[in-house]
Amino acid sequence: MLSALGSIGVGFLLGTSEIIIESLPGLLVQVPPLMSIRGAIGGAFSARLSTALHLGTIKPQLRNNTPNFKKSFIAIMILTVILPVWIGGLSYLVTVLFNVGEGHHLSLLGFILIAELSSVISGFLQALVTIFLSILTYRRGLDPDMVVSPLLYTTGDVIGLFSIIFVTQALIISGVGLI
């Protein structure tokens, strides 16, 4: 039920950002892949934390955790930084090849900046949510795999879309050459 409500919220948020999408229609090309990598990276991190908690290779605490915990966190942050560059570049290529927006294209730099900055913001926030929920559910005697994954996909979509909209608006306001 929470996932369904979250999906409705994401749809509503996307609908309220209609002005941005109308002015930069190519942005809509990169929203699905950015959301997809957030889900894939977050889901893998959640599953890894859950397994490690059950095996005892990480501690159910935030501070002074094991090297395994630190390596997992660093790995997801590296993926969070590398993959958006590819998505930004490919989104630009698709937008130009198929003339999405009839001449009102984001620049290559615009696509990459939006992808990168929004992914770093959403990736870090989603990692914090994942860690917090995994530790909390494990301490309460619940299986993090059963609780965290469904909540993670919903919160990841909300955080991801919000960060894309926030970053795009911030770059437009700052005057960075997006077009």
Give the domain range for residue 99.
Answer: 39-174
84 within some domain: yes
The reported pTM is 0.87
26 within some domain: no
32 within some domain: no
63 within some domain: yes
146 within some domain: yes
- Taking phi over 0 as left and psi of -120 to 50 as alpha, with beta for the rest, 124 belongs to alpha
Tokens of 37: 């990598």
164 within some domain: yes
Dihedral sign (CA 99, 103, 106, 107):
positive
16 within some domain: no
pLDDT for res 179: 60
The tens-digit pLDDT sequence of the chain (179 residues) is 766 777 777 777 777 777 777 778 788 889 889 988 988 898 899 999 999 999 999 999 888 999 999 999 999 999 999 999 999 999 999 988 988 766 567 889 999 999 999 999 999 999 999 999 999 999 999 988 888 888 887 888 889 889 998 998 888 888 766 66
Give the number of domains in the chain.
1
18 within some domain: no
